[in-house]
Amino acid sequence: MDDKRLLEVKDLKVHFFTDDGVVKAVDGVSFHIDKGETLAVVGESGSGKSVTSLAIMRLIPNPPGRIVGGEILFRGKDGQVKDLAKQDEASMRKIRGNDIAMIFQEPMTSLNPVYTVGDQIAEAIVLHQGKSKKEALELSAEMLDLVGIPEPRKRLSNYPHQMSGGMRQRVMIAMALSCNPSLLIADEPTTALDVTIQAQILELMYKLQEEIGMSILFITHNLGVVAEMADRVVVMYAGRAVEEADVTPTFKRPKHPYTMGLLNSVPRLDLAAEHQQRLEAIPGNVPNPLRLPSGCAFHPRCKYFQAGRCDTDIPLLQDTGGGHMVRCVRWAEIQAEQGVTA
C-alpha cells in the first residue's frame, strides 16, 4: 500500500443472511483514505454507508451479517498494514479506540448513563494508554477543554443526562480523540442536533483534525456538510459506490445521474440565489435490497435510462480521468448531451 495511504477498502462485500433472503448491504465497495484526509460517504438511507463503517470496525452483528469478501487494509500506528477483514477479536480490540475511533449520531447510545463522563473518558485512556486512573482523569479534563466544554474539571463528575445534546456529542468526540486515533469514523454525528450546534460541532471536528492530523471517514446525508468538510467523496447507491472523486469536481461536474439527482435535490450553497436551479427530488424510492433491479440498480429512477444497456449487466466502476470514478455505462454520452467537454 502507498506510503501516504491509511486505509484501503477493496471490493468489500457485507451480506446479511435473513429469513427473507440475502441482503447484499455492501456489494463490492472500494475506496481509500490518505493520511490527514477527510472522505465523505453519501447516499440515501439504506445505501450501505453505516454497514461499510461498521465493517471497518468489525462490528457487524453476526448473525445475520458477515463480511463475505474483500479486504480492509489499514496502516496501524506502528506502520504495519493489516487486513482488518481477517483480524481476530483480540486484535480488533486493540485497534478500536486506539487506531480507529467512531462517533455516532446519538451519543446516548454510546455513553453509559450510569457512569460519570469523567469515568467513561478515563476508562478508555486507562485501557488503551495504560495510564493510572488519576493521570487518565487529568487527561480527560484536558480533552473536555479541547472540545470546548466550559469548566471541564467540574464536568467530569456529570452524568450524560445532565448535559445537553451538543455537549454530549462533544464528550463523545473527546472520548474518541483521547487515544489519538489515526482514523475517526463519524457516522452522521450532527444529524440529531439543531443547526447552530451542528455547525459548532463540525467546526470543532475540522479544527481538531488540523491540530491532530487524523483522517476522517464522514458518513452523511447532508451534501452541504460534504462540501464544507471533505476532500473526497464516495457516493453510494444500493450497496455499491457509483461515483468517487475529489469534492470539487464531483460538485461542479457530477458524472453519475444519481449524484446529479442528489445535487439537484438540495439548494447549492456555493451559488447565489439567481443561479439556483429548480429543486427536483429524485423520482421513485430506494429499491428493496432483497429485490434489486437488474443491471444498474439506479436504472428505474434514472432519466438517462436506455433499455438493453442499463438493465442488463452491472456497470463497472471506471476511471474517467484523474481518479474520478463512475459506475455508469452512459456517463460519457450524458456528459456530451449536457455539452460538457472533458
Ligand X SMILES: Nc1ncnc2c1ncn2[C@@H]1O[C@H](COP(=O)(O)OP(=O)(O)OP(=O)(O)O)[C@@H](O)[C@H]1O
Give 16 or 331: the residue with its C-beta nearer to ligand X.
16
Binding mask 184-223 for ligand X (x = CB under 6 A): -------------------------------------x--
Binding mask 271-300 for ligand X (x = CB under 6 A): ------------------x-----------
Give 136 or 297: the residue with its C-beta nearer to ligand X.
297
Give the whole-angstrom CA distance, residue 222 versus residue 289.
22
Q: Which of 7, 29, 33, 43 binds ligand X (CB under 6 A)?
A: 43
Give the count of residues interacting with ligand X (CB under 6 A).
17
DSSP string, 80-141: -EEEGGG--HHHHHHHBTTTEEEE-S-HHHHS-TTS-HHHHHHHHHHHHH---HHHHHHHHH
**Only segment of 38-46, 94-102, 166-174, 322-330 that touches ligand X (CB under 6 A):** 38-46
Residues contacting residue 203 through CB under 8 Å, at least 6 positions apart: none
- Is 65 an interacting residue with respect to ligand X (CB under 6 A)? yes
Give the whole-angstrom CA distance, residue 258 versus residue 298.
7
Give 46 or 148: the residue with its C-beta nearer to ligand X.
46
Give the whole-angstrom CA distance, residue 265 versus residue 174.
34
- Is 16 an interacting residue with respect to ligand X (CB under 6 A)? yes
Give 98 or 218: the residue with its C-beta nearer to ligand X.
218
**Only segment of 61-69, 87-95, 243-251, 252-260 that touches ligand X (CB under 6 A):** 61-69
Is 135 exposed, middle or buried (CB count within 10 Å of its CB: 0-12, 13-18, 19+)?
middle
- Is 166 an interacting residue with respect to ligand X (CB under 6 A)? no
The residue length of the chain stands at: 342
Q: Which of 20, 45, 114, 341 binds ligand X (CB under 6 A)?
A: 45
Give the whole-angstrom CA distance, residue 47 versus residue 234.
12
- Is 28 an interacting residue with respect to ligand X (CB under 6 A)? no
- Is 50 an interacting residue with respect to ligand X (CB under 6 A)? yes
- Residue at grid coordinates 440529531: 192
**Only segment of 39-47, 114-122, 138-146, 266-274 that touches ligand X (CB under 6 A):** 39-47
- Is 61 an interacting residue with respect to ligand X (CB under 6 A)? yes
What is the nearest approach in angstroms of ligand X to the Cβ of residue 45? 3
**Only segment of 42-50, 150-158, 162-170, 263-271 that touches ligand X (CB under 6 A):** 42-50
Give 104 or 136: the residue with its C-beta nearer to ligand X.
104
**Only segment of 40-48, 76-84, 144-152, 330-338 that touches ligand X (CB under 6 A):** 40-48
What is the nearest approach in angstroms of ligand X to the Cβ of residue 306? 27
Residues contacting residue 220 through CB under 8 Å, at least 6 positions apart: 40, 41, 42, 188, 191, 226
Amino acid at site 289: P
What is the nearest approach in angstroms of ligand X to the Cβ of residue 49? 4
What is the nearest approach in angstroms of ligand X to the Cβ of residue 205? 19
Instruction: Measure CA 101 to chain center.
Output: 12
Q: Smallest Cα–Cα separation from 102: which of 228, 206, 232, 218?
A: 218
What would the grid cell of residue 4 be? 501516504
- Is 23 an interacting residue with respect to ligand X (CB under 6 A)? yes
Beta bridge partners of 66: 15
Packing angle, helices 165-177 and 195-212, rounded to 10: 10
Distance separating the N- and C-terminal Cα atoms of the chain: 30
Q: Which of 25, 29, 111, 163 binds ligand X (CB under 6 A)?
A: 25
Question: Residues in the site for ligand X, rule: CB under 6 A?
Answer: 16, 18, 23, 25, 43, 45-51, 61, 64-65, 221, 289
